[in-house]
Structure 1
Amino acid sequence: MEDSVGGGAVRAGGRADCDVVVVGGGIVGLSTAYALSRLAPGTRVVVLEKEPGPARHQTGRNSGVVHSGIYYRPGSLKARFAVGGAAEMVKFCAEHGIPHEVTGKLIVATDREELPRLHALVQRGRENGIPVRELGPAQIGEYEPEVRGAAAIHVASTGIADYGLVALQLAESSGAEIVYGGAVDLVSRRAGGVAVRTTAGVVVRAGALVNCAGLHCDRVARLAGDDPGMRIVPFRGEYYDLARPELVRGLVYPVPDPAFPFLGVHLTRGIGGGVHVGPNAVPALAREGYGWGVVRPRDLADELAWPGAWRMARRHWRYGAGEIRRSLSKAAFTEAVRRLLPAVTAEDLRPAAAGVRAQAVLRDGTLVDDFLIREAPRTVHVLNAPSPAATASLPIGREIARLALASLARA
């Protein structure tokens, strides 16, 4: 039985030779395969994805926002990729008939203590070339009649898209051989190239390897013999659906805390008209731990053995305790939402599917905020691909593809 889609066929127990093997069939891995086909037509690419289809984890379990880039430090990879990537994503969706909409969004300061951070965001947005409009309390109601705040900014370029369909389109358009149903369990890197084996018995030999394994990227790096200098610490983001979606017209965000790479509980009107509420950010007990009942001893052991996890916990335990409280108490979660949307009650919030973020943590406990891409012989490791990775996936894919092609040229 064939385990792939694309030009040829890679069969379980067989071999396939290619120029580049990409580990991970999320939106970043598929964007890389797509970019390789555009930058160097004729490049033979195989994508290995352990699930039975693409976009089963971070890509398919987020709120679907096309971010403007307003939050990100000017000059950072996040800022550079997001600002251009947002417009490129909208264009890609339009060209391929993928549901999307440029909705704009509000970032709302709910009290006066947040005003300095809100004003800093205005300045950051302008430095990144993003048009923003500052709003007083009365003007907030012009955009969102049910939202209350001391002040807000309107970011017109923010939107929404169906990233699951984007991933499927990238897979189809890339021309890559995509092999589903087996996790990578062995990487052998020699002078002549890289050989990768999956748990399904597929062996792929390539000139270069690109590691876009998301929640398992650090493990793939170690399989390749490289020290990634970080570990993935998974954070679960829990969502609710709003039973009264008419309360929200578009996208409404709080002012984020700059100390953390999380945006806080927000309101997102999705492609289908429903409103997603969330996410929070709680430690997951497994790398694919989409609920408190999912526990993986190996994943926990990896976290507990990493000094950075303990240093992070000591540094941020108050923040973490608040997130856990909102996870375990619907009343506490409702209270957080009511800061933005006072009309919401606990009965308005219906549990929805959760997601897990692959958060890279350094040895000193630092939560990596920007993209983290490291090169090794014949290998490119993508070790942190935070929000706005989906928004910016097309330019990110090109950057990774260039690095992979350069690695091939040096070989």
Structure 2
Amino acid sequence: MSAYDCDVLVVGGGIVGLSTAYALTRAAPGTRVTVLEKEPGPARHQTGRNSGVVHSGIYYRPGSLKARYAVRGADEMIKFCAEYGIAHAVTGKLIVATARAELPRLHALVQRGRHNGIPVRELGAAQIAEYEPEVRGLAAIHVGTTGICDYTAVAHRLAEASGAEIRYGAEAVRVDRRPALGVAVRTASGDVVRGRVLVNCAGLHCDGIARMTGDEPNMRIVPFRGEYYELARPELVRGLVYPVPDPAFPFLGVHLTRGVDGGVHVGPNAVPALAREGYHRGVLRPRELAATLAWPGSWRMARRHWRYGAGELRRSMSKEAFTAAVRRLLPAVTPADLLPAAAGVRAQAVLRDGTLVDDFLIQEGARAVHVLNAPSPAATASLPIGREVASRALAALARA
């Protein structure tokens, strides 16, 4: 009888963890994979709490993992949804400049998109109405490969198709790694699951799992709550409308996204969360907040980006200020048009020096692979990310 319950033990049942399990069983049939997910079902955090956009890859630095995986992943995600009958659409999107200072950044995005192999159409002010009659701007670009899908349904399908053993309600509370013997994970219920190699896809808690394993990741997750509204008059928006992003910050700004259900989400407004799963303003977990404040990078980040953060906080506290931000793109919007919607939390990796990690971050330790930064566009890129992580896990398995 084997001393191991599985060959690869995946912690985290979001879309990246499930894509990894899916990739493992396809790349190496017969590999025994177990996924531990602390919630009663998959996709309960970042995967199931976003705007459902299948990103084109236009924003990301050429050659980066984000650029390579988003471009490839967008095409694969649309095909996956079509194959399995999951709700999706290729809608295209507008990125709109509303101030002259944004025009050079918009042009830079055109060049970046073309460098990344993404078809882009440049639009003058009058041409914006061809796509979005209610949107106003000085100029825009249309990105035809952007789409939308139901990522929660994708996660469920990956779980079914992977053939892995998925254990829900299994929160990892302790990891015992012995390089000569393997990795054992104790869950909150007292069960012990033993694997030859561990894969850490724990999202909001990935840094904690890495340290529990005995690997120092040299980063910490700093959670940002993304606050959304729903548009009471969805007919004002046909598809997806984005502002020109600030390249100094890894957030895309307040945008408008029509989902597969026909509703239009407006947001997110990004503010620091007081807990890893702080989906509401009143959620405070003192131990988690203390850990964030104890990380030197949190304070250095705050000093570097306080002006940007102040604007986000102002829009969080004032619906009128949030409405004003939306009206730059969509002048017809009023405060009454914005109905509160469910929030999400972004697991943002921050280095000790305060740098916000801008690319996907995957590190390896003895018998372990850690996915340490996988916010948007990780859902879009989840299939190629899963293959990358699976490849590293199988290499670790061969060395074990």
2:397 aligned with 1:408: yes
The alignment partner of 2:369 has SS state of strand
Partner of residue 272 from structure 1, selected from 256, 261, 273 = 261
- Structure 2 equivalent of residue 113 of structure 1: 101
Tell me how far apart the structure 2 counterparts of residues 284 and 112 of structure 1 sit (CA, whole Å): 33
For residues 216-265 of structure 1, the C-alpha deviation after alignment (integer angstroms, 9 at most, x for no partner) is 00000010011010000000000000000000000000000000110000
Tell me how far apart the structure 2 counterparts of residues 202 and 266 of structure 1 sit (CA, whole Å): 44
Partner of residue 145 from structure 1, selected from 120, 133, 136 = 133
Contact 1:64 1:160 in 2 (8 A): yes
The alignment partner of 1:185 has SS state of strand
Tell me how far apart the structure 1 counterparts of residues 281 and 311 of structure 2 sit (CA, whole Å): 16
Tell me how far apart the structure 2 counterparts of residues 125 and 314 of structure 1 sit (CA, whole Å): 31
% identical aligned pairs: 82
The alignment partner of 2:48 has SS state of helix
Cα displacement (A) at 1:215: 0.3
2:251 aligned with 1:262: yes
2:356 aligned with 1:381: no
Cα displacement (A) at 1:367: 0.4
- Structure 2 equivalent of residue 368 of structure 1: 357
2:382 maps to a residue whose letter is S
- Structure 1 equivalent of residue 12 of structure 2: 24
Contact 2:210 2:217 in 1 (8 A): yes
For residues 331-358 of structure 1, the C-alpha deviation after alignment (integer angstroms, 9 at most, x for no partner) is 0100000000000000000000000000
Q: How many residues align?
A: 397
If the length of structure 1 is used for normalisation, what is the TM-score? 0.96
Partner of residue 90 from structure 2, selected from 81, 102, 117 = 102
Partner of residue 156 from structure 2, selected from 168, 172, 175 = 168
Q: How does 1:290-301 map to 2 (within 5 A)?
A: 290-301=279-290
Contact 1:235 1:357 in 2 (8 A): yes
For residues 1-26 of structure 1, the C-alpha deviation after alignment (integer angstroms, 9 at most, x for no partner) is xxxxxxxxxxxxxx961000000000
2:132 maps to a residue whose letter is E
Contact 1:132 1:155 in 2 (8 A): yes
Q: How does 1:313-328 map to 2 (within 5 A)?
A: 313-328=302-317
2:62 aligned with 1:43: no
1:325 maps to a residue whose letter is R
- Structure 2 equivalent of residue 343 of structure 1: 332
If the length of structure 2 is used for normalisation, what is the TM-score? 0.99
Divergent runs of 4+, >3 A: none
Cα displacement (A) at 1:181: 0.8
2:185 maps to a residue whose letter is V
Contact 1:215 1:287 in 2 (8 A): yes
Contact 2:4 2:196 in 1 (8 A): no
Contact 1:16 1:203 in 2 (8 A): no
- Structure 2 equivalent of residue 358 of structure 1: 347
Partner of residue 116 from structure 2, selected from 120, 128, 136 = 128
The alignment partner of 1:201 has SS state of coil
Partner of residue 213 from structure 2, selected from 224, 228, 232 = 224
2:75 maps to a residue whose letter is A
2:205 aligned with 1:205: no
The alignment partner of 1:358 has SS state of strand
Cα displacement (A) at 1:386: 1.8
Cα displacement (A) at 1:182: 2.5
List gaps (5 residues or longer) in structure 2: none
- Structure 2 equivalent of residue 11 of structure 1: none
1:45 maps to a residue whose letter is V
Contact 1:369 1:386 in 2 (8 A): no
Tell me how far apart the structure 2 counterparts of residues 367 and 389 of structure 1 sit (CA, whole Å): 16
- Structure 1 equivalent of residue 147 of structure 2: 159
Tell me how far apart the structure 2 counterparts of residues 283 and 317 of structure 1 sit (CA, whole Å): 12
For residues 53-83 of structure 1, the C-alpha deviation after alignment (integer angstroms, 9 at most, x for no partner) is 0000000000000000000000000000000
